[in-house]
Chain A
Amino acid sequence: EIVLTQSPATLSLSPGERATLSCRASQSIGNYLAWYQQKPGQAPRLLMYDASNRATGIPARFSGSGSGTDFTLTISSLEPEDFAVYYCQQRRKWPPVTFGQGTRLEIK
């Protein structure tokens, strides 16, 4: 099973700041990593479908990078609606489908 470890657990920033979220895989997964955003009371939403490609309708302030075992999701300038929980998911080796434990992005 591929284990995904996200850091930090919680990130406190202000609107307009840059956010950098990390996801590390227990073995190489190429660029087969997806990112999801979840707001309170809502289902997760697909943000990035591989390490660096945005899903349909996702604003350009969201970007991703990485390959192998280390990945980063960057939000260039935080908007109020970006404060949420973010999960990574590996798409390289199923089953099982695995997610990271999440990073909570909160308003400072």
Chain B
Amino acid sequence: QVQLVQSGAEVEKPGASVKVSCKASGYTFAGYYLHWVRQAPGQGLEWMGWFNPDSGGTEFAQKFQGRVTMTGDTSISTGYMELRRLRSDDTAVYYCARQSWSFDIVTGYGPFDIWGQGTLVTVSS
């Protein structure tokens, strides 16, 4: 069964850091880009960035550059997203998602076909 299982809920104080994990199973972790998407309470989906488990390469949304790190460990099929200098408006559910295929000139970028269950991160003093 192809799935992504994320770590549990976190409560952090402003200024702290949080690291969320995303464990893949049922497929070759290194073969698919892993994205991170967050959703603030009652809001829409906000893309944060991607991680290429094969090369270790990353790409981040501009608003998160300098504050986010995305890494992975192919030996345990797990990706990680760390967000630093947390603020109250970082309170959100954070999702990891698998990109179904890499870019193809004919079919474009692959959509997100597998999602983790989400990790609630609460930032509060």
Contact = CB atoms under 8 A, between A and B. Distances in A.
Nearest to B103: A94
Interface string B37-66: 000000011110110000000011110000
Contacts of B60: 95
A43 interface: yes
B27 interface: no
A35 B95 CA distance: 17
A89 B111 contact: yes
B113 A44 contact: no
Contacts of B17: none
A91 interface: yes
Interface string B87-113: 000000001010010010001111111
B44 A91 contact: no
* Residue from A46, A49, A97, A100 with most neighbouring chain B CB atoms (10 Å): A97
Contacts, number: 65
A49 B100 contact: yes
Interface residues of B, number: 26
A45 B100 CA distance: 13
B109 A91 contact: yes
A49 B108 CA distance: 10
A64 interface: no
Given A44-B45, A101-B44, A49 B62 contact: no
B118 interface: yes
B44 A95 contact: no
Interface of A: 30, 32, 34, 36, 43-46, 49-50, 55, 87, 89, 91-92, 94-102
